[in-house]
Structure 1
């Protein structure tokens, strides 16, 4: 028996392979836009509501590490952790806009629009997951 048939991939390899099995537009959206925009909240933690905004942004991101490890890849379950924190985030960002200026205002608009678009996918994907569509990309 060859070592490749007895060796199971590492979790990281499975997650990476699952990511590359996603449609190109999803890879671009998640990898080059959604995650980086939410991570940029750390650059504005000293601004009005900045720490709360960063905490809410990361509250939507970080649980997905657990989901990816558990599923060994990407699935619709990854939408679920976004729902509550990012819905609250939209309200906090919108209410913070009048208190902001300059680059922070521009960033808040980008964050608001980005996470609004994400939630337009996340609510239906969460529903689909609860209804049984629990496939993991690439498996």
Structure 2
């Protein structure tokens, strides 16, 4: 199944590049005797819309049908990372500067293991977060972050 996933990833990356998109993630798993292929696409200069998901889906589906890579029935799901997308690297923090994020820490910083605030600045490997409640600016070393995601700012 890994070989199939690699072939799908290779073609998906080419399609995404042609559409000015990138592949965020690909999952291929069996659920109750049926395969589920989920491809999450992203856009570096904004957010992915329904039309882009639909167009990408048609192109990857045509490839999958032509190559007959998956020998059983499967469900294809093409989506975006969403508004509450995970932040997976320092470049995501740079990209989403000014946005609200929820950060789960590996160890306490100023007696907190969870910080919810705005990404204000990136200094080397440190992320400066202005707390949503209170406005205090915390310096968070990137290596102390267990996981993080954007939050809806209502």
Given the two structures, how large is their TM-score scaled by the length of structure 2? 0.26
Relative to its length, the structure with more helix (as a share) is 1
Relative to its length, the structure with more strand (as a share) is 2
Q: Which has the larger radius of gyration?
A: 2
Given the two structures, how large is their TM-score scaled by the length of structure 1? 0.28
Relative contact order: is structure 1 or structure 2 higher (C-alpha 8 Å, sep ≥ 6)? 1
